[in-house]
Amino acid sequence: MALSPDDVADLAGLARIDLTAEEREHLAPQLDQILEAVAQVQQVATDEVPPTSHAVPLTNVFRTDEVRPSLDRDAVLAGAPAAEQDRFRVPRILDEEA
């Protein structure tokens, strides 16, 4: 199925893209090639192939979370410009109720 410049104009209208006549003429064969490639991919997909999110299996490479000694809360809050209820106090940036 070959796309015509009029087909490209219809698609551009749906996408709210303003194209010149030269751009429509130039894009028509390119979009036709894209549609042919998608059609080929659709022919390959079968019911026997399970859908996957990645081509190869992924494993988590991060370390496991472990509780470890950390900085002393009072020492950290001592360097803060403002603290309240054992937390950093920062200026409100949203107009939401607390």
Amino acid type, 86:
D
| CATH code for the domain of 39 | 1.10.20
Classify residue 16: in a domain, yes or no. yes
* Interval 38-71: pLDDT, tens: 888 888 767 777 777 888 888 888 888 899 999 9
Confidence of residue 16 (pLDDT cuts 50, 70, 90): very high
Q: Cα(20)–Cα(76) distance, rounded to whole angstroms?
A: 61
Provide the domain count of the chain: 1
Instruction: Answer yes or no: pTM beyond 0.75.
Output: no
Mean pLDDT over 10-18 rounds to 94
In a domain? residue 49: no
* 34 lies in some domain: yes
Say which amino acid occupies 16: R
Bridge partner residues of 87 (DSSP): 84
Q: Which residue has the higher pLDDT, 43 or 73?
A: 73
Q: Which residues contact 18 (CB under 8 A, 6 or more apart)?
A: 12
Which amino acid is present at 43?
Q
Q: What confidence tier does 1 reach under pLDDT thresholds 50, 70, 90?
A: low
At residue 90, what is the residue type? Answer: V
